[in-house]
Structure 1
Amino acid sequence: MGRFQGRILFCFIKLCRFLCLALSFPFYLLDFVGLCRAYRRLFPLLVYNITSSYNNKMHKTKRELFRNLATFANSDGSLRLLEIGCGSGANLKFYPHGCTVTCTDPNPHFERYLRRSMEDNKHLTYETFLTVSGEDMRDIQDGSVDVVVSTLVLCSVRDVPKVLQEVRRVLRTGGAFYFLEHVVSDSSTWTYFLQCVFEPLWYYVGDGCIVTRTTWKDLEAAGFAELHLRHVEAPEVSLMIRPHIMGHSIK
């Protein structure tokens, strides 16, 4: 694509995004006066209802992601796992038998749906549920967990580097951080165009979800001893969140 054509496309994207921002203005006003808090109560129900569909589409991917999770267990076979932004418990069925799970989420209204998932996954031991943000997990001690898990979470946190700093703090030396996150698409794709244009609306519908993040760059800069990361396309999900990264890093 020539420089002139590139500038035209850039301006067209900016124009479309501006129009989408205008459409998002009522949501901004609702959020400004605090009325979007009611949506925070509804959002966990929506997530709980779509979890089954997403897991069906991503079943093979998640199986592959968590296949070696048990290798980070201690010599006595115990495995202490922390899931940040656990939501309604979409990942519980993929965890190895007998591991002890601590769940956190900044939205307290997820807990009732998480409890339902816990009832369906008796092979795990549940430690506690904490209503905290990923940027501030002060209630969890340094080096106290073997594995941290984050799936579809880093898109909506306020400060990705701060979250990863906290992840490294709570992990023991040699522990692992497992991730599956949607990211921005390549700038030459229609997906990128849709992400740039509709991100303002998506942000409110997705309870703070940002679809244009380059999360792999944050992981590369986070200071882990090892990083195993690859880019994948999520099958049959919305174009807006189809580009994913998956893998694990070791402290």
Structure 2
Amino acid sequence: MVLIPLLQRCVQLLFLPIFVLSYLGLWGSLCKSIFPYLMSKACRLVNKIMHKEKQQLFSRLPDFAGPSGKLTVLEIGAGSGANFQFYPPGCRVICTDPNPNFEQYLLNNVAESQHLQFEGFVVAAAENLRPVPDNSVDVVVSTHVLCSVRNATVALNEVLRVLRPGGAYFFMDHVAGDRFSWCYFWQQICDPTWNYLGDGCSVTRETWKVLENAKFSKLNLRHIMAPVVFIVVRPHILGYAVK
């Protein structure tokens, strides 16, 4: 379809300065520095809009506490720590993110989350969680992370590696809409520009297929339409998968 590439170019023209900065090799570092600030603000709004969905999802976390009754949570792509308020009291939390500039915002949320036992922040991509030992955590959490990782299959293999047997991976992500919907039409148009604005984020990934093909023993996944303003990020998946 000729119309989609044409409209993609029109959207790109609206954000021409960003593409020029990228061509000059300047946008990457600039985006890494300002993106955490913008996301720390955006995540507060997302928590309000999707409070019910997150609360319901994370209410299952205590079910996966270890034999001692303690719960150890590893959050990958933790960003500013927006999920902390939904974690049960007393759980140990380890956080990773590939962008070190998130740490200052995350520590602010740590200070406000006295109900948690914070174990530290590690700069690491989801595809390489080498600092985390095998079979060492009860739960892995990621929200709006698989939309931007370079390789979701490798990231999920790492999730399976660090989870103890019987542990669970909790996820929430925006995904591609139905192929014949207006939503998917606009997703295709916006995706090339969105990738630059969102530090590698894509709005056309069919992430549920990667989860279905991962080697989890059980997958509990559902599709929803999130009540957000931008149509391109309304289709969501959320749920949990058991190792």
Offset at residue 189 of structure 1 (A): 1.6
Match of 1:13 in 2: 4
Offset at residue 32 of structure 1 (A): 4.2
1:209-220 matched pairs, under 5 angstroms = 209-220=201-212
Q: Is it true that 1:196 corresponds to 2:183 in the alignment?
A: no
* Structure 2 residue ranges without an equivalent (≥5): none
SS in 1 for 2:237: strand
SS in 2 for 1:101: strand
Counterpart contact for 1:82–1:147, Cα < 8 Å: yes
Match of 2:242 in 1: 250
In structure 1, C-alpha distance between the alignment counterparts of 2:93 and 2:179, rounded to whole Å: 38
Offset at residue 12 of structure 1 (A): 1.9
SS in 2 for 1:111: helix
Offset at residue 24 of structure 1 (A): 5.6
Q: Is it true that 1:49 corresponds to 2:41 in the alignment?
A: yes
Q: Is it true that 1:177 corresponds to 2:169 in the alignment?
A: yes
Counterpart contact for 1:54–1:237, Cα < 8 Å: no
User: How many residue pairs are counted as aligned between the two chains?
Assistant: 242
Offset at residue 16 of structure 1 (A): 1.8
Counterpart contact for 1:24–1:200, Cα < 8 Å: no
Residue 82 (structure 1) aligned to one of 74, 83, 87: 74
In structure 2, C-alpha distance between the alignment counterparts of 1:192 and 1:88, rounded to whole Å: 29
In structure 2, C-alpha distance between the alignment counterparts of 1:193 and 1:209, rounded to whole Å: 17
Q: Is it true that 1:27 corresponds to 2:18 in the alignment?
A: yes
Residue 232 (structure 2) aligned to one of 230, 233, 240: 240
- 1:115-140, Cα deviation, whole Å (9 max, x unpaired): 01011111000111001100111111
> What is the TM-score normalised by the length of structure 1?
0.92
How much is the aligned-residue C-alpha RMSD, in angstroms? 1.4
Going from structure 1 to structure 2, the CA distance change for 1:25 and 1:165 (only over 3 Å counts) comes to farther
Q: Is it true that 1:228 corresponds to 2:217 in the alignment?
A: no
Offset at residue 237 of structure 1 (A): 3.5
In structure 1, C-alpha distance between the alignment counterparts of 2:225 and 2:169, rounded to whole Å: 21
- Bigger radius of gyration: 1
Residue 141 (structure 1) aligned to one of 127, 133, 136: 133
In structure 2, C-alpha distance between the alignment counterparts of 1:207 and 1:99, rounded to whole Å: 30
Q: Is it true that 1:68 corresponds to 2:68 in the alignment?
A: no
Offset at residue 202 of structure 1 (A): 1.0
In structure 1, C-alpha distance between the alignment counterparts of 2:13 and 2:230, rounded to whole Å: 23
- 1:121-171, Cα deviation, whole Å (9 max, x unpaired): 110001110011001111110000000001000111100100000000000
In structure 2, C-alpha distance between the alignment counterparts of 1:236 and 1:172, rounded to whole Å: 35
In structure 2, C-alpha distance between the alignment counterparts of 1:216 and 1:237, rounded to whole Å: 23
In structure 2, C-alpha distance between the alignment counterparts of 1:147 and 1:97, rounded to whole Å: 15
Percent identity among equivalent residues? 48
In structure 2, C-alpha distance between the alignment counterparts of 1:56 and 1:177, rounded to whole Å: 23
SS in 2 for 1:240: helix
In structure 1, C-alpha distance between the alignment counterparts of 2:127 and 2:6, rounded to whole Å: 34
Match of 1:7 in 2: none
